Chains A and B, each alone.
Chain A
Amino acid sequence: MKNQTEKNTFDAIVVGSGISGGWAAKELTEGGLKTLVLERGRNVEHVTDYITALKDPWEFKHRTHLTKEELKERPVQSSHCDAGDKHFYVKDSEHPYVQEKPFKWIRGYQVGGRSLTWGRQSYRFSDLDFEANKKDGHGVDWPIRYEDLKEWYDYVEAYVGISGSLEALPHLPDGVFLPAIPMNAIEQHLKESVREQYTDRVIINGRFANLTSYKEGRGQCMNRNLCSRGCPFSGYFSSNSSTLLDAYDSGNLTLRENSIVKEVVYDEATKKAVGVKIIDAITKEEITYYAKLIFLNASAIATASILLNSTSTSFPKGLGNSSLQVGHNLMDHVVNEGTYGTYDGLLDKYYEGRTPGLIYIPRFQNLDTKTENTDFVRGYGIQGKGERENWESKPVKGFGAALKAQLETPGKWKISLGGRGEVLPNYENKISLDPKKKDQWGLPLVKVHFEYGANDLAMMDHMTKASEDILVKAGFKSVGSYRNSPPPGSAVHEMGTARMGDDPKTSVLNKNNQMHDVKNVFITDGSCMTSSGCQNPSLTYMALTARACKFAIQQFNSDQL
Chain B
Amino acid sequence: MGTLKKGRLIKNMDRRKAIGGILAFTGVGVASFAGFKFFYGNSKAKRGQLKNYESLISELVAVIIPATDTPGAKEAKVQVYVIDYMESCSSNKEYNNFLNGLTDLQETCLSEYDTNFEACTMAQKIEAIEILDINSGDNDLLTKIDNKIRGRSFFVILKSLTIEGYCSSEIGATELLAYVPVPVNYKAITTLAPNQKAWATR
Knowing A353-B184, A354-B202 touch, does A68 contact B88 (C-beta < 8 A)? yes
0/1 string, B17-45, CB within 8 A of A gives 1: 00000000000000000000000000000
Given A57-B201, A404-B68; 11 other pairs, CB 8 A cutoff = A54-B181, A62-B89, A63-B85, A68-B89, A181-B186, A182-B186, A183-B188, A223-B184, A399-B159, A400-B63, A408-B198
* Segment of A87-95, A135-143, A335-343, A386-394 engaged in the interface with chain B: A386-394
Closest chain B residue to A225 by CB distance? B202
The A-B contact count (CB < 8 A) is 154
Q: Quick check: is B190 within 8 A (CB to CB) of the other chain?
A: yes
Residue pair B198, A388 in contact (C-beta under 8 Å): yes
Residue pair A352, B66 in contact (C-beta under 8 Å): no
Residue among B81, B85, B164, B183 making CB contact with A222, cutoff 8 Å: B183
Residue pair A399, B63 in contact (C-beta under 8 Å): yes
Residue among B72, B165, B200 making CB contact with A63, cutoff 8 Å: B165
0/1 string, A533-559, CB within 8 A of B gives 1: 000000000000000000000000000
Shortest beta-carbon distance from A235 to chain B in Å: 10
7 contacts across the A-B interface (CB closer than 8 A): A58-B170, A188-B189, A352-B190, A391-B163, A391-B164, A400-B64, A404-B68
Docked Cα-Cα span, A427 to B6, in Å, equals 71
Residue pair A222, B184 in contact (C-beta under 8 Å): yes
Closest chain A residue to B62 by CB distance? A400
User: Which A residues are CB-close (under 8 A) to B179?
Assistant: 56
Docked Cα-Cα span, A188 to B170, in Å, equals 33
Docked Cα-Cα span, A349 to B89, in Å, equals 37
Q: Which of the four size classes fits the interface of chain A?
A: 35 or more
Residue pair B173, A57 in contact (C-beta under 8 Å): yes
Q: Quick check: is B53 within 8 A (CB to CB) of the other chain?
A: no
Residue among B64, B190, B192, B196 making CB contact with A403, cutoff 8 Å: B64
Contacts of A192-228 to chain B: CB distance below 8 A: 222-225
Closest chain B residue to A356 by CB distance? B186
Residue among A66, A349, A390, A403 making CB contact with B199, cutoff 8 Å: A390
Residue pair B186, A351 in contact (C-beta under 8 Å): yes
Residue pair B85, A352 in contact (C-beta under 8 Å): no
Knowing A184-B189, A351-B190, A352-B190 touch, does A407 contact B200 (C-beta < 8 A)? no
Residue pair A353, B133 in contact (C-beta under 8 Å): no
Residue pair A391, B198 in contact (C-beta under 8 Å): yes
User: Which B residues are CB-close (under 8 A) to A69?
Assistant: 88
Docked Cα-Cα span, A181 to B92, in Å, equals 44
Residue pair A63, B164 in contact (C-beta under 8 Å): yes
Docked Cα-Cα span, A330 to B39, in Å, equals 45
Residue pair A409, B198 in contact (C-beta under 8 Å): yes
Shortest beta-carbon distance from B31 to chain A in Å: 23
Residue among A66, A185, A387, A407 making CB contact with B202, cutoff 8 Å: A387
Residue pair B192, A353 in contact (C-beta under 8 Å): no
Q: Which of B129, B163, B191 has the most CB of A within 10 A?
A: B163
Q: Quick check: is B176 within 8 A (CB to CB) of the other chain?
A: yes
Q: Quick check: is A442 within 8 A (CB to CB) of the other chain?
A: no
User: Which B residues are CB-close (under 8 A) to A347?
Assistant: 192
Residue pair B85, A65 in contact (C-beta under 8 Å): yes
User: Which B residues are CB-close (under 8 A) to A401?
Assistant: 66, 68
Contacts of B115-143 to chain A: CB distance below 8 A: 126, 129-130, 133
Knowing A224-B183, A400-B126 touch, does A409 contact B196 (C-beta < 8 A)? yes
User: Which A residues are CB-close (under 8 A) to B190?
Assistant: 349-352
Q: Quick check: is A61 within 8 A (CB to CB) of the other chain?
A: yes
Closest chain B residue to A390 by CB distance? B198
Shortest beta-carbon distance from B188 to chain A in Å: 4
Docked Cα-Cα span, A348 to B194, in Å, equals 9
Docked Cα-Cα span, A67 to B85, in Å, equals 8
Q: Quick check: is A43 within 8 A (CB to CB) of the other chain?
A: no
User: Which B residues are CB-close (under 8 A) to A63?
Assistant: 81, 85, 164-165, 168
Residue pair B167, A404 in contact (C-beta under 8 Å): no
Contacts of A403-424 to chain B: CB distance below 8 A: 403-404, 407-411
Q: Quick check: is A435 within 8 A (CB to CB) of the other chain?
A: no
Residue among A66, A185, A353, A396 making CB contact with B163, cutoff 8 Å: A396
Shortest beta-carbon distance from A142 to chain B in Å: 37
Residue pair B186, A56 in contact (C-beta under 8 Å): no
Shortest beta-carbon distance from A92 to chain B in Å: 18
0/1 string, B156-174, CB within 8 A of A gives 1: 0001000111011110010
Q: Quick check: is A250 within 8 A (CB to CB) of the other chain?
A: no
Which 10 residue pairs are nearest across A and B when measured between Cβ atoms? A353-B183, A353-B186, A182-B188, A57-B168, A391-B167, A352-B187, A67-B88, A223-B186, A410-B198, A223-B183
